[in-house]
Amino acid sequence: MKRALTPGTFDPITSGHLDIITRAAQLFDEVVVAVAASAGKRPLFTLEERTALVEEVVAPLSNVRVKPFTGMLVDFARQEGAQVVIKGLRAITDFEYEFQQAALNIQLDGSAETMFIMSPPEYMYLSSSVVREIASLGGPVGRFVPPCVEAALRAKFA
């Protein structure tokens, strides 16, 4: 069985994230969405809230499961038996950062390959931080996130 891991902070999960997860689910037998604690980023949503939102969003995908994690990605990938780490790429700046991370992960533990999936044009400039900023200013985010995430953002900024 080919198992892939799709890591991220998902603060919050966006339609761009869901696109990458859905496409990965079409390529692999199982996809584990790895929700990173990322305490250093000071996320808006708690790890538990982010995990619950991701679980709700990916519920229709039968071969996708969601797990929170702390620590190093390579350790979590090994623990989950993932052969591939899937990363979404939006723009050149993403490539530089993700390329560096992939190279470091190979040095730390080369047992999982990194595979990049390009975002489609409609999600090329979409990020969780932009969604959070729009939501914090009372702007409409329904085009960028699933309905449950939009509701959670409204509740956070009410």
Alpha carbons 66 and 53: distance in angstroms, whole number: 10
What's the distance, CA 73 to chain centroid?
A: 13
Answer yes or no: 90 catalytic. yes
Alpha carbons 86 and 155: distance in angstroms, whole number: 31
* Coil vs helix vs strand at 59: coil
**Identified catalytic residue from 41, 111, 129, 136:** 41
Answer yes or no: 67 catalytic. no
What's the distance, CA 118 to chain centroid?
A: 14
**Identified catalytic residue from 15, 87, 128, 132:** 128
Bridge partners of 35, per DSSP, are 8, 68
Element (H, E) at 69: strand 64-69
Answer yes or no: 17 catalytic. yes
Answer yes or no: 128 catalytic. yes
- Name residues whose C-beta falls within 8 Å of residue 10's C-beta, 6 or more positions apart in sequence: 17, 33, 35, 50, 53, 54, 128
Active site residues: 17, 41, 90, 128
